[in-house]
Amino acid sequence: MANNLNILIIGGSSFVAKNYIKFNKRNDTIYTVSRTATGFINEFIVSDFNNISENIFENKDVVINCAAIVHQNKKIEESIYNKINFELAIKFAQQAKKSGAKMFVQLSTVAVYGRANHINISSKEKPITPYGKSKLLADNELLAMSDKSFNTIILRPPMVYGGGNTPGNMMRLIRLISTKVPLPFKGITNQRDFIHIKNLIRFMEASIEKEQNGIFLVSDNSPVSINDLYNYITNVLDIPNRSFKLPTLLLDVIKKMIPNTYEKLFGSLTIDISNTIQVLNVYPEDLIIEGLKEMKLQIQ
């Protein structure tokens, strides 16, 4: 696909949208729709994404949907997840298609696979959270909208990090480690995939450039253990390594009593992105140290 596309990003104040604009290497004209002003030159401000004018979608080649409500620790009704992550996404895609856009890019999530420890392009989706369920509903409906004149790209990343004040558990972990409190990560050999925001943007760009259609798993393609991640973070923060080893019996108790916490800290999640690399011809960079250094700046 040639450069000089007109790209509309919905959710322009989101972390991914801001970094797409920052790191995008294509010579495209980018417009954003945001609920809070970011100062971006081609920005439309709306109080409610339900009230986006149809005119905003006109003369846009690609629409990227970054608007979503992610998994929350606090209780949120499942209907709210469905309204924002499913119903709104479909509404955006329908309007994009009606207005003549050629492509719709949906930021999905590996949460659609539930508690899977390893994921590949053939893995069966089994979401267990309202977030994952709502995202899968949107993915399936969006894929059904694809035809010869309208491509739908579904990107499913793991936890995103890097680029500064990244929302999510990685920043929470860095802040926790920065307190120098001893943590029970020593000797843990789990393997978990993450993705630096720059790698995510590269996959997004490539999928648009190659006019793709369908589901793409994305990651750094370099899984790390919580033990190694702890070591990386303490080195970047230049603080003492105070991790200690938990007895196996106690780990088993944690797994049984608080499985969600166990999975987040000690569970594995590896992602086979070989199909994505082959189709998009993009090889992610090893950016774990760079990303942690970028996030370190937010706690100083």
Question: For residue 101, which amino acid is it?
Answer: A
So where are the chain's domains? Answer: 6-156
Residue 15 parent element (H or E): helix 15-23
pLDDT at residue number 164: 86
The string of pLDDT tens digits covering residues 217-246 is: 999 999 999 999 999 999 999 999 999 999
pLDDT at residue number 300: 62
Separation of alpha carbons 9 and 243, rounded Å: 42
pLDDT at residue number 23: 84
What are the strands of the beta sheet with 29-34, ordered from one edge? 43-45, 29-34, 6-10, 62-65, 103-107, 151-156, 214-217
The string of pLDDT tens digits covering residues 168-207 is: 889 999 999 999 999 999 999 999 999 999 999 999 999 9
CB contact at 8 A, 96 and 55:
no
pLDDT at residue number 71: 59
pLDDT lower than 50: segments of the chain: none
Separation of alpha carbons 169 and 161, rounded Å: 9
Separation of alpha carbons 199 and 286, rounded Å: 9
Separation of alpha carbons 104 and 61, rounded Å: 9
CATH top-level class for 6-156?
A: alpha beta
pLDDT at residue number 264: 87
pTM confidence score? 0.94
pLDDT at residue number 2: 59
